[in-house]
Structure 1
Amino acid sequence: MAAEIQKELERLSVVAIAMFNRGRQAVKDEEVDRDLRALLDSSGSTASRPPDMDERLTPAQLIVGRFFFVHESQASYGDTRWRTYEFLHATFGEYLTARLVANEIARLVRLHEVDGLQAVRQGVGRLRALLRFALLVSRRPIADFLAEFFAALRAFDPWRLEIADSIVGDLLAGALYSPTQADIADYAPAPISEIARCANLSANAVILRFLCAGHSTRVQVVQ
């Protein structure tokens, strides 16, 4: 049961970061489906579909239908129907976005412990994808939630904090060398240039290193 709850939260976190990386408070049904396929390898598949569930429901509909704090809007024209989703309060999405980034760093830390830095470099594609389309400090609570994640590591797992710092440092060193074999080519939530993607990744890696060191990132983002 606990493992399935974690999977559901991970899927919902993809909904949250779909909004964040598009710079919107709402996201379309087909955008969520596309992001789920790219980031989670079809995690919204029939494996999590109850046997009596309507087979016509999309992965996005299956996910958001289970959570009361996600609002669904519908519009139709002829035979075409559009659905969009948004969180009832922005803080839900901000927490889930930070949670997805933090969990991905934690996964890479565990990978580093077992197989070393080279394995991390081969498996860093999802973290790179998450960080290439928007600045973490553009939503203040996201950086605050991430700061709490690093603070917990500092207090209870300082050796893992050192590994996390080395992973983020390596991410920064390779931020301008893109694309790499590890990158997820199918994940493109916003139509921005490769230069902009590299700039976002570089800035976000710097932000994560500051947070890892226990520093504040209270800066103003100028558009």
Structure 2
Amino acid sequence: MERFLDTFFAPQVFARYLPEVLAAIWTTLWLGVVVIVAGIAIGLVLACLRAARRWWLTLPIVIFADMLRALPPLVLILLIYFGLPGLGITLSGPLVLILVLTAVLAAFAEEIFWAGLTALPRGQWEAGRATGLGFVQVLVFIALPQAVRMGIPSLVNRSLAITKMTALGSVIGVKEILAVSSSAQAVSGSATPLTLAAIAYLVIFLPAVVLARWLERRFTWKV
């Protein structure tokens, strides 16, 4: 037990690297917030555009969603970060991470919102139009509120999953939790920084998971 505690909970290593991990928590948090807000917003806009059912809008949206859901985010991160400089375009690590994760979340969010829109009975669209509302008004005031509510459980879970992918930033030098703790582990030769990382992730994501469970119960359609 003493050896285990010295490996994973060494007090001197804990105290030495705690400030760095705390700073990395802030980095992970702001990256996650930006990705979630931007990804969901873009996904919602794409679903609304797709609802117009114009092939020249639908086709690129479907291709975008299918490609981003199929490709591993790590491949995209490496391709953009190391590939674009060959074209004379250099982006910082955090910006690349935000662009890729936002695009991936937007692809999933678009499909979630679109599934909610297509699940609505056609009669609701027809009833709205019959009262004199235009297409956009029916979409905004009748269809979207229901589609968003139906999609909240899936959307929250997907947002959490993609937010945890901020750890992929460690491969391109983004000083988030995993990058900082891995570097500290290599320097110190102790697994304690990794324990710090595990605690940091629990501090961030455990409340988020509890909130997600509450949202699922709150917004799930009751039969």
Fold-level similarity (TM above 0.5)? no
TM-score, normalised to structure 2, is: 0.27
Higher helix share: 2
User: Higher strand share goes to which structure?
Assistant: 1
Structure with more relative contact order (C-alpha pairs < 8 Å, separation 6 or more): 2
